[in-house]
Structure 1
Amino acid sequence: MTVHDVARQLPSLADLRNLCRSLAMLDAILNPDWEGRYYSFNAGWAEGEEMASMRNGSGDQYSIVFSAAGAYVRGFDHEAPTSPYGNDGEPWPGVIDDVPEVFKPLAEEPAFTDEAGVPVVTACLWREATDEEWQHGVIDFPAGRCDPDGATHLFKLLIDPSPEAFQRFAEDYYEVPVPLEAVRDVYALRPLSQKLVSSLNPGVTLADLAEDIAEIGYPQPARDVISSLHRR
């Protein structure tokens, strides 16, 4: 699988944004330590822009910037043969060459480049608001590799947007039981309750999650729930 295959399987812009918020909310509940989280979402990343991100702690990562223009997806697999660090410090031919003008600033965004200004990217997709499908560059991938740009594992939970997929990931990564019904509720963007939060992580309260809920842009708990928390 390559970014070409991912483009055919990614959800729509709206569905992808919702999925990314759900992943970030679930990770915030399962892992209160922001620095150790796998998935994040910042609804106020920049003016008019939101950013979803993934980092696995081993150097692999992705960033998805949502805006009125659409969405720009940048992925980086540190072991991929399409890494710029195995290509004389240049992005692999075709990976970002065809990025449309509206997303060009993101291809050069300092947050997505290294100290020398090299874009940290092995896989790239984009979709303008008027596009009917996801786009990618014309790329001649290295032969003999089943995942030459890292797309298979980087975007695994984005191309399988099922609660069951997250449950499998989280139980393996966090080594704790993860109730499927709770995951389904968060994937449906239902406002959190203390019961739901406790089922995922007994050590976390709704009050603990207030900043995360606001940053992610996840639906707020009902006012009566918030009031009861403030009275405790």
Structure 2
Amino acid sequence: MNNSILNINELPAVDRVKHVAQGLALLDAIIMPEWEYRYFSFNCNWDGAGKEMMASMRDGSGAEYFLHFADAGVAGKVICGSPLPNVSECLNAMPEAFQQFKVEPAFSTDNASLFFWRGVKQPSWCASPDGLKEYPLLGFFVGGIAAYKSLVENYYEKSIDATVLEEVFASLDVTADQLVILNPDIELGDLVDDFQEILGREF
């Protein structure tokens, strides 16, 4: 699984990236109740004060991304394949405004294939190293739920209703009827904690 984009500015606006990250985490929470087996997660209260958010993806084979949403903007890292030989140099290219991301142990910034960021006043995304032929894993933020659908169908070896996936992804909500289609083995009550963590609210 690579799911690359070819240019860092294929990434949409920050609000859209956040929506996609939350949607992917919500779908994963529905389809895979056991947290440790999920690909995607989102914590809308990463700092415990309601000012920072964190999104992640792990494929279980060493590939992962992290995104940190804070007042300064968004900073992220990807590891997919070989790590950078000059990782500290590339990390240092990230502006000082993202220092909190740079030193956070949970993000494993000493092990990365690339870093990317966008400040609140920046008109576009930046990456380090820049000019890569491709930017792996970031394709999940582009083009709706097609990449997610393909991923989970291969992983769970079952067909998943694309229309309902898209509805839940777009609305960041789920009805009892939608839940029966996506995962008949759980109930809405099973998702209370996930809704709180991912979206900061109840149904």
Q: Same fold (TM over 0.5)?
A: yes
Q: Where does structure 2 lack aligned partners over 5 or more consecutive residues?
A: none
1:75 corresponds in structure 2 to: 78
The normalised TM-score by structure 2 is 0.88
Are 2:94 and 1:112 equivalent residues in the alignment?
Answer: no
Counterpart in the other structure of 2:176: 194
Matches within 5 A, 1:1-232: 5-46=6-47, 47=49, 48-77=51-80, 79-80=81-82, 83-84=83-84, 87=85, 90-91=86-87, 93=89, 95-113=90-108, 119-139=110-130, 151-152=135-136, 154-158=137-141, 160-217=142-199, 220-221=202-203
Q: Summarize the Cα distance change of 1:4–1:162 in structure 2 as closer, same or farther, 3 Å threshold.
A: closer
- Between the aligned partners of 1:38 and 1:56, the Cα distance in structure 2 is 6
Q: Is residue 213–residue 220 contact of structure 1 (8 Å, CA) maintained in 2?
A: yes
Post-superposition offset of 1:104: 2.3
- 20-29 or 191-200: bigger deviation: 191-200
Q: TM-score, normalised by structure 1?
A: 0.78
The one-letter amino acid paired with 2:87 is P
Mapped partners of 1:38, 1:164: distance in 2: 15
- Across the aligned residues of Structure 1 and Structure 2, the Cα RMSD in angstroms comes to 2.3
Paired residue secondary structure (1:203): coil
Aligned residues: 199
Larger-gyration structure (1/2): 1
Runs of 5+ unmatched residues, structure 1: 222-232
Instruction: Give the SS at the match of 1:5.
Output: coil
Task: Report Cα offsets for 1:28-69 as digits up to 9, x if no partner.
Answer: 011000001000001111141100000000111110011222
Question: Which runs of at least 4 in structure 1 moved beyond 3 Å after TM superposition?
Answer: 3-6, 138-141
Give the match's secondary structure for 2:166.
helix
Identical residues among aligned pairs (%)? 29
